[in-house]
Chain A
Amino acid sequence: MKDNGSVKRVIRKEDLTFLQKAYITEIAKGLRLTIGKIFQPKFTHNYPDEPWPFQPSFRGRPVLVEEDGIERCVACGLCSRVCPSLAIEVQASETELEKERYPIRFEINMIRCIFCGFCEEVCPEEAIVMSDEYLLAFYQSRDAIYGKDKLLMSTERLAKRLEFLRENR
């Protein structure tokens, strides 16, 4: 084996000084470290009490952007097509608004969703984005299917993410 420093040096008993062998001083050193640690700031985040500060790049559950009370979505179905886990189901319908087309039903099966963000990336209208919400627990599998009622989220609430998307387009 080459002696290039990567080889682990084995410490033998003969290498130790008397004080080291006596152990007591070494214990004192160890105690200094551990006791010192007690008074240092803690790494733990007080999670449910203090909300985690999200970066805008965080990918929480996908939501539909709500602008002026209606969704931006035009139900083009690209998110549904690109979704690798087939979580999204869209049914389009006609509206009198200028956009002509809107999702009469938009459902994401949150059990299937893998938070990959492809839907956000493919969306031509910036209508589906990843929010900062991630608390998803269900008692029934049917509760996991989120309809429009649960998916709509206002632009104000999503401002950070939308800005992030525009910057990183």
Chain B
Amino acid sequence: METLIIAFIKIVIVTLVLLTAVAYSVYAERRVSAFIQDRLGPNRVGPFGLLQPIADVVKLVFKEAIVPRDANKPLHDLAPVISLTVALATFAVIPFGNTIQLFGREIKLIIADVNIGVLYILAFSSISVYGIALAGWSSNNKYSLMGSLRSSAQMVSYELSLGLSVVGVILVTGSLRLDQVVLNQTNYLLGVIPAWNCFVQPIGFITFVVAAFAETNRQPFDLPEAEPELVGGFHTEYSGLKFGLFFLAEYAHMIVASAVITTLYLGGWHLPYIDFLDLAPMLMSIIGILTFATKVILVLLFMIVIRWTIPRFRYDQLMSLGWKVMFPMALLNIFITGLLLLIFS
């Protein structure tokens, strides 16, 4: 019972924080993109435009939700819900801190401490394609359908390299538990360099990040909603709150992807060298949470900046990159990792 209450509290807090973060990541994207383009971006609502996300949400909620006449209404309604739910649910297995001592008990800073966290993430990220595929198909619109077809093909192509990249991490860690993955990165290589997987697995890191971009439909891989070609892609026929849900889902995916990258490759909640200071455990826990948040934000910013740096891939380029570059590289990574492990153990 107690475990349930604690889990419930954790779920509520994490969901709220995540949704807020999603809203503000939209704001961050608009501001950063404006700065990159010599503009100011939204700065009218509240100080520095900080209330802009709220205004956006209010606007989206009050807009009329238009459903095409020949659309499959239940699926049309269901698609954005799937997208957002999957995005949020993935976060359940991410350790956003080590442990914290509260009210005389030790609480693990992870919602679901499952022993197959990595598989869970891979599984859920694959489900999210259903949201897009259903949205495209149920809209009964050629652009939507083309968007969703592209998305499905893209997902299938990149899921592979994503999964294979992670295999390297699993080999190094020897566990599918995500908290174990993080703990494994708290060591130091040669006593100085933090043993983050991005240093241990550079090829895997790159392939994973690229695949993660593709999985979240971010530029340069946002072909499912390529505006110049497909109007709005899979969400052409969405408006109002349902469009808002897709919008939220996209950014939630971004945050989750950032969290996964942080956890798997960037040392999770671990701040290097802090463990030498011998601080109070309570402080350490808080620093851990803040470190995790900072790392996620930095990865997010990286994703945003990349969006305004690299132009969109052509569809054939996307496919050839996925199958001819990413896939062999991920395989190569596993091979090298296995070989090195075999030699050194």
Interface residues on chain A, number (Cβ under 8 Å): 14
Residues in B neighbouring A37, C-beta threshold 8 A: 35-38
Q: Which of A34, A42, A43, A44 contacts B309 (CB 8 A)?
A: A34
A38 with B206: CB separation less than 8 A = no
Chain B nearest CB, measured from A21 CB (Å):
10
Complex formed: what's the CA distance from A152 to B306 in Å? 56
B305 with A34: CB separation less than 8 A = yes
Complex formed: what's the CA distance from A34 to B37 in Å? 8
Q: Is B32 an interface residue (CB 8 A)?
A: yes
Residues in A neighbouring B206, C-beta threshold 8 A: 24
A34 with B36: CB separation less than 8 A = yes
Residue of A nearest to B32 (CB): A38
A44 with B38: CB separation less than 8 A = yes
Residue of B nearest to A46 (CB): B40
Chain A nearest CB, measured from B198 CB (Å):
14
A31 with B40: CB separation less than 8 A = no
Complex formed: what's the CA distance from A145 to B310 in Å? 53
Complex formed: what's the CA distance from A46 to B306 in Å? 27
B39 with A44: CB separation less than 8 A = yes
Chain B nearest CB, measured from A119 CB (Å):
37
A43 with B39: CB separation less than 8 A = yes
Q: Which of B35, B40, B306, B310 contacts A38 (CB 8 A)?
A: B35
Residues in B neighbouring A38, C-beta threshold 8 A: 32, 35-36
Chain A nearest CB, measured from B59 CB (Å):
21
Q: Is A33 an interface residue (CB 8 A)?
A: yes
Interface residues on chain B, number (Cβ under 8 Å): 13
A40 with B306: CB separation less than 8 A = no
Residues 37-58 of chain A: 1 if any B CB is under 8 Å from the residue's CB, otherwise 0? 1101011101000000000000
Do A30 and B310 form a contact, CB below 8 Å, given A24-B206, A35-B305?
yes
Do A33 and B309 form a contact, CB below 8 Å, given A42-B40, A44-B40?
yes
Residues in A neighbouring B24, C-beta threshold 8 A: none
Chain A nearest CB, measured from B140 CB (Å):
38
Chain B nearest CB, measured from A16 CB (Å):
14
Residues in A neighbouring B308, C-beta threshold 8 A: 34
A27 with B39: CB separation less than 8 A = no
Chain A nearest CB, measured from B161 CB (Å):
15
B306 with A31: CB separation less than 8 A = yes
Q: Which residues 38-86 in A have Cβ within 8 Å of B in the complex?
A: 38, 40, 42-44, 46
Can you list 11 A-B pairs, Cβ within 8 angstroms, ordered by A? A27-B309, A30-B309, A34-B305, A34-B308, A34-B309, A37-B37, A38-B35, A40-B38, A42-B35, A42-B38, A42-B39
Q: Which residues of A contact B (CB under 8 A)?
A: 24, 27, 30-31, 33-35, 37-38, 40, 42-44, 46
